[in-house]
Structures are given as C-alpha cells and as structure tokens.
Structure 1
C-alpha cells in the first residue's frame, strides 16, 4: 500500500490512495502500514514505531435522509476503519527469530546473541533484559481525524491500549470508527477509487515545556504587566500585550515597537481592519501556540488574513491545515474562490483537485453555476484537471 505524508507543525496529513471492489462478494479488507518522522533517534536503535491501518467494507442499503418519509434507499459502502500505533522491539524480534531457528531441524546448538544497532551503525552484543515498549507521550497522537473521499470528517474513537501476541508488534494505541460512503451509480469499472486522509495531531511538548506555555498563556489571559494596549475602531474593547513578546513572534510588531515609532512612545495601537475577537485569538496564539476558541471555516479564513498581515507563518499554516482538513463538497467552491482572491496557492491547488475529484456531485449545484458565471477561468482550470 502506498502512503504519502506531510508534516505541518504538530499536525500530520497522511494520504492513502487505494481502491474498493465495485461489487464486493462479502466483507473485504484493505490494510497497510506507514511510519512517520516524529520519533527521536533514541528510538531508532531498538524500538521502531509505526502505524497499521485496517479497513473492512461491504455494500449496504441505507435510507436516504433527504427523503425521510419515502422508502428511498441508497447503495452505500459501510466502512469500518481502525488505526493502530504499534512498535517493534528489534532485539526481542531477533531473539524470537533465533529461538525459532534453533528449534528447527539441523540447528547446531550454541549461544544466542542478540544484535543491537546504535545510532553510529555499530553492531554489538546485548545481554540486557528486554523491557516493555515505551513511547513518550509526544510521540503518540493526541487526536486523530479521518476523511474518506470527501465524506464528512469524523474523530476516531480512542480505545484502550491492547497488546498483541508476543511474536507480533505491540499495539500501544488504537482508534476506530464506522461510517458510510455513497457508492454512486456512475461506476462501470470493477473497482472504485478511494482516497483516505488521516490527520494526526501530536502534542510536541513535555511537562517542563507545558508549564512554560501555561505561564506564558496566563500572562496574556490575566492581562498582567502589559506595556501596550490595543483598541479597535468603533469599539470600546481593549486588549493588552507585551511588546517584547509580540516583537519576538512577529516582525511587523517588532518594527511597530521600535524606539522612534508612535506606538512605542504612546503604548497604544489602534486596530482598524481586524475584528476584536479575531485579534484577541491572534494574540492568544502568539502566547500559547493555539487559539482560545475552536476554529470554523469563517474564523479560520479571518485568522489567516490577520496572521498574514502580521507575518506569523506558523499560524497561517495552522489555518491552512484546518481548512484543508475540513473541506467538503458543500464548501469547496467557496474555499477555492476565497483562496484565489487572496492568492493562497496551497489551498487553491488543493481545492481544484478536490472539486475535480467530486465533480459528479458539485457540478449539479447552483453554486457551480454561479461560479461559472463569476469565475469562468477558475471553472476552466477545474474541468482541465478531470
């Protein structure tokens, strides 16, 4: 199986392109595994962490929710998917393989030596007792999302850790979910293409770093010892900040708080083109690395524009990651037009690919007709990708 992954800050996007049998005889299974690069080199010499994917599916008939009072059914794929964070102990694996080989006919009895490969690629003999597999919490996803061929994204359910047979990799964490994908009626081939996208979020801090972030966040939330005040045109709301912290996170703020600038002399800044709640979340992100309120598509777009104005690149990437992970057939056109008007090439390109892949659904909507009239060149780009 082929997996493509892209790391964006602490969020990892893993794309899996595969195929479903158009007419499965019974419950079919797809599986595969992939490795990520979030793991420190200290695990390389002994413990190998990786993810295993299992996807079971079959065809079922489900009542159409658009016609609840009619006996109208759609042919759907019922998909049961699980994602496991696993780990192999190389020393234990070699020991088991050696014991298995020793018990086979023709084996000459001798001393079993287990190899240990260190970061310098030197091979030595290990006599230490094999310890349970342990991965730091920063190496385990704190949350996982999934998107199947543009269907609604769902949070996968976290299950209790389980341990496989001794001779199999250890399962440290497992996520699973069941959902349905429209089979459609336009497929004449023997297989149906499927794009599965996993979004894995990692907590990138240990306890010491978490305490620092907590105190930094409280400094802003409690508005302690602020030396600059932000006010907003047409509003009485004021938000305080710390010039040195803001300057360290944004080159725009750094230039603003130079000695000869008016903002430095007065300690006051008037914000004219950003809403107070968006600007407050922008500052909250500067201090804590996250927004104070969950994003939605509208606030993520506004937050991106604010982050672009103050040149906070990691917040821009955060917003882009969120918007791409939330993209659905109902809003892909609007997102494409917004990205085009604001020259956000990454979202524009991803939106074009998404719409082209789901043209059968999107081309039937009134939004598509409106887009063809208002943005004919964009619509031409989409049709060229089909």
Structure 2
C-alpha cells in the first residue's frame, strides 16, 4: 500500500475508528477513505481555516437515506508528540447523522504535526418503521431473538413436513394431511374452540376443510407453521383469505389484503371487489372502487360489470353507485 493511500485510511474495530494524519500543518482539507462501522460506510474530514474543523458523516446511499444512523459516540483528537495533548468532544447521544453538516467540531486549539482522530461509537440505532422507539443494531437481545425465532420456525416447519408426532388429520376436498392440534389452537381461536369442547373434531382427531383443495390447505398450514413460500402464497391468495376469515387469523387476512391490492386489473377487479365486501376488507374495497370509477375502467368492462350487477349484494351495488355519484360531483 502506498504512503499516499495510507494517509487516507481509517483503521477500525467493530466500534472504534482511528485516523492518523502525519502533518496537520500542511493540511487545508482532507477526506478519509470510507470506513465501515455497523451497517454504514462513514467518512471523516479535516479542514484548516483559522480553526481546525472535524466532521463525521455517513456515506450518501439508499441505506443512509432510508435508515439514517442514530449515533452515540465520542470524538478525541490526540497529538502524540513530545507535548502530548488530548482534546475530547463531549459525548454525543442519539444524534441522527444524515449529512456532512450534522456533526462539525471546531477544535479550539492549534495542532501542528501528527494527530490522531479517534471516534468511539457507543451505540448505533435505526428508527422503527412503525413509529416506535429506535432500536440498536448492536442489541444482543435483538440478535438472540431473531436467532431464536428462526430456529423455532425451522423446528415447526420440520414437524409439519416430516409428520413428526401429528395428532390431528386435516381432510381437504381432494386429500388429507397431518397437523398438530396444539399449533392449530395456538394460532386460531376457532381451532382452539374445536379442540377444547366435546365436538366431533376433538373426539375423532379430524378436521374437515372440504372447501379447500389439498394444495391450498397445505399452503394454509405452511403459513400457520411459519414456512409458506412467496409463490405458494400468491397461487392460493383467495383460498387463504377465506380460510383466514373462517378461522379468525387476522394477520393472514391482512397479508392477503395487502397482496391483493398490488395487482388489481380489469380481469380481477370485480372478483376482488366482491371478496372485499364479503370479508370486510376496506382498503381493498376502496382501491377497487377507485380503479373502476376514478380511473374510468368501469366503461372498459361494461358487459362484465352489468353481469356483476345482477348477482352482487344490494348494499355493494349501492356503494358503487354512491362512488359514481361522488365522482361526478367532482366534474
């Protein structure tokens, strides 16, 4: 490595960054090479203009824009010569760093010769996507929980796929499979009720789900056991939605609604509008209405819409006409 390149290199440990600058008196502006701490690449800069200015900031990237680091750290400047001196900036706590202007330290003394800039990170956090408290990327509790969750899901998946100690039979319309009543009861209050009372399902250790194919039923079980694949989910969304409603699994119902929102088109909009009304999915219903009325697609599928009007629920028909009237008022 050349001496010139070495001059911009920052040495790091997982939480410490150290930049050695050989001759600060000759430095008007210098920017370090990027160095990685946590999830982000960082830079240090020094600038001499009467005072010495030190800046610390993350590299501009998609990650730093969407998840800007919230940092707790301390910065020290050391002059390791014969008159060894150390200046310490007061500890920064939970400061979000997005740009090169978010942390600027005007050093109040004149250094000459060799200096060492030392940045010690105490914590790095990212903002919560749901508006909660920021979470530390170094929290062992988070790492442990993720590892624990992953292992537990792997074990559950193996219990289902390898038929380990299954104690209930699920009969679908065209086949059967095994499951565990404790897992089913833990995920669904409906299943819990079946197995808690003297019902047929408890006595026979059998659950009949004859309104689902064995393929859709397997996808349903895979979701309950935490092992459903994206392509499997997409292939059986409507069947999974009906099962989620029937067995009161709210998170699956919401997952189906979010997925069905993503690819509404003229071929499926009427079916999805009907499903949204039947299963009380307000976001899906609203999006289908907007697609039909606000974007004028109702005229592109006039024949299909007329046939739909003959079989649709009267309350849903009234809602469609109300949406049409509201749209006309805007003209």
| TM-score class, shorter | 0.5 to 0.7
Partner residue, 1:374: 308
Q: 1:251 aligns with which of 189, 207, 210?
A: 189
TM normalised by structure 1 equals: 0.47
Residue 281 of structure 2 is aligned to residue 336 of structure 1: no
Which of these residues, 151, 168, 171, is aligned with residue 228 of structure 1?
168
For the residues of structure 2 that align with 1:132 and 1:372, how far apart are their CA atoms? 65
Q: Aligned equivalents of 2:231 and 2:160: distance in 1?
A: 15
SS of aligned partner of 1:131 = strand
What whole-Å deviation, never above 9, does each CA across 1:207-244 have from its counterpart, x for those lacking one? 221011111111111111101111234x3x22101111
Alpha-carbon spacing, 1:341–1:310, altered in 2? closer, same or farther (3 Å)? closer
Distance 1:311 1:330, change over 3 A: same
Instruction: Map residues 27-66 of structure 1 onto 2, 5 A cutoff.
Output: none
How many residue pairs get aligned? The number is 219
The reply to whether residue 116 of structure 1 matches residue 88 of structure 2 is no
Contact 1:353/1:385, CA 8 A, preserved across alignment:
no
Equivalent residues of 1:259, 1:265 under 8 A apart: no
**Matched residue SS, 1:229:** strand
**2:119 corresponds to 1:129:** yes
Which residue number in structure 2 is paired with residue 383 of structure 1?
324
DSSP 3-state at the match of 2:208: strand
Which one of 59, 72, 85 corresponds to residue 66 of structure 2?
85
Q: 1:320 aligns with which of 232, 238, 257?
A: 257
Runs of 4+ that moved beyond 6 A? none
Q: What CA distance in whole angstroms lies between the structure 2 residues aligned with 1:250 and 1:88? A: 39
- Per the TM alignment, residue 114 of structure 1 is displaced from its structure 2 partner at its CA by 4.1
Q: Is the 2:168–2:178 contact (alpha carbons within 8 Å) kept by the matching residues of 1?
A: yes
Is 2:214 the partner of 1:273?
Answer: no
Q: Distance in 2 between matches of 1:52 and 1:350?
A: 33
Task: Considering fraction of residues, name the structure with more helix.
Answer: 2
Q: Do 2:71 and 2:125's aligned partners in 1 also have CA atoms closer than 8 Å? A: no
Do the aligned residues in 1 keep the contact of 2:71 with 2:123 (CA within 8 Å)? Answer: no
Shift of 1:284: 1.2
| CA deviations over 1:55-90 (Å, ceiling 9, x no partner) | xxxxxxxxxxxxxxxxxxxxxxxxxxx995342445
1:259-279 deviation per Cα after TM superposition (whole angstroms, max 9, x unaligned) = 522222222223222221111
Structure 2 contact 238–256 (Cα < 8 Å) conserved: yes
CA root-mean-square deviation: 4.1
Is the strand fraction higher in 1 or 2? Answer: 1
Call closer, same or farther: CA 1:384–1:263 in 2, change over 3 Å.
same
What displacement does 1:381 show?
Answer: 3.2
- What per-residue deviation string (whole Å, max 9, x for no partner) do you get for residues 123-142 of structure 1? xxxxx834398668x979xx
Change (3 A) 1:344 1:130: same
The answer to whether the Cα contact below 8 Å between 1:371 and 1:379 also exists between their aligned partners in 2 is no
Cα–Cα, structure 1 residues 330 and 273, in superposed 2: closer, same or farther, change >3 Å?
closer
Per the alignment, do residues 89 and 374 of structure 1 end up closer, same or farther by CA in structure 2, a change over 3 Å counting?
Answer: closer
